[in-house]
Structure 1
Amino acid sequence: MIWMAMHPSNLSRLTFFEPDSVVRKSSSKSWHSFIAKTAEKWYPHESVIEYMINRIGQVLDPKMNEIKLVQANGQIRFCSKFFLNRDERLIHGAEICGEHLGDLTMAEEIANNKKTSRELFTFEFIRDSIRTVFPENFEALTTELVKMIAFDALVGNNDRHFYNWGVIGTMKKSKKLPTFAPLYDSARGLFWNYSDENLKNLLKAGQKKVLSYIENASPRISIEDNSKANHFELVDFVGRLNHEYDQIVKSMSSLENELKVLEMLEKEFFPMFIQARKSLIKEVIQTRFKKIRGY
């Protein structure tokens, strides 16, 4: 059983007490804090789909943030744990690029423009930025970046913008190495914004429309030679850069992982969905895994 405290002045934050934790039930101040999101009224499946995408991530390799799906005030809410300690801060991807660029204001402007960010904040630029800002832990951080890219490609997440990922650093000078932040805000994929009726129509429209949906999903990160690269093209490029990156992509997209993901979906989510949603999500997952394995 989970005890939950709402914060009326700020309904975007929830705190939880869990019986098997070390915090005290009598003191809600010691409970774990979560950032709560509510699905928009025109996208009622959003919270459940975001939870599902995060569960897929938990089956795979990248470090995912702790999540919950709860009912509060008559709404289904997706909750993501506040993962920073008091002495830590989150350095967003935009800030990392800005430090390398030498102009944080310009970096913010670039990051907030999808077209410009895809043209300028390429994988090559991001990797150079991480090397400049965090030379002491460049390899480990870049490895986690590649895992994030592979995960987003497998689920078709098209909204990993430059404030949706980052590195955890300390507030003061410390010998503690920076770490890649757990992945959060992974909501935009797998028909999150499709109603049941829209999915029925898509299923009737035939294979060509479904394949178009799969191919058109694009990451916010691109490559210097192709600012319009879709997920498959980005993963292919990254995998060709070095053997370690290639092994990460191959491991995450393995047939074994694909079957694990499908088994989890069958048990935890498909019983809640209409047949059209189940069929299409399964088809997208199978196609994305197979295509990425083929590179």
Structure 2
Amino acid sequence: MEPTEAISSSQTGAKICANCGGTVATGDRGRTNPSYIFALGQITTRFPSLGLEKEFAQAAGRADVEGQTDRQVFQSVLLEQSNRYLARQLCWIFSIEGLETYLLLPRDSADTDQLLDTIRGEPRTGDLDMVIGMRGPIAPPETCNGLQIPIVFFDQIYSFDRDSLLRSIPRPETIPADQEDQFRLAAGELFDRILQLADNAGAADEHRALNYLAVRYPVIYTQASDAFGRNCSLTGVDVRLSRLSGTRKIVDVIFSYTHRTTDVTEKFFVRVDVTEEFPFLVTKLSPYYER
């Protein structure tokens, strides 16, 4: 699912972008060739200065946090309404596959709550955050202790964990109840495959489409489970520009399954519109035939 005082509000975010050679200013949805983000990863924080770190320590010293772990203290202090000024000045860093990828900044300062919702007092290895927004300029060196990565002005952040997502996928009526565990395993394998695709930073159209399907279209998991049940392996996930693309940008996401015995490959595809910030489904999953 705000860095230093230099960019701690939507107004200053716009000021930074005003000097970045045409990169989007906060709230500007009408620029030419915008770069949208639909990414899955983890949000972490960093103190941009020693002064802010000491200020946080003083706030923690005033709080009733006896017996809590350091992570729980961090969560408790920042969730306190009187300490929101600290949250607005933290560096909120979005990492993908362990690499620091984006610096997050809300379009509206009121959206700080979305960042606070990503703080977990008891983090788990499967924790994930989904960020939807627009990519801005590279952060100036003074923003976050010299960390120079692209800024993302986000509109939405969702926080969840991998197991909860898989449990939320409805089991199709065609799959018996005694095979539900196998269905979840199949869904998990496909989900992991999408996340681990090379360079999936959620910025390219093909990756935005895949990430959208991974969290918004459970039918792809049903198909994967069905294919595994027919002794097929997932041998490819490809994204191609659709023949339907014209004034809008539409991609075909193609899933290939190869029978483990006969080596026959069958393909299924779904069309996704990635023209704007929020992707959406154009056509449902159906067999794909090469032309």
Higher percent of residues as helix: 1
If each structure's strand is expressed as a fraction of its own residues, which one has the higher value?
2
> Shorter-chain TM-score category?
under 0.3
Q: TM-score, normalised by structure 1?
A: 0.25
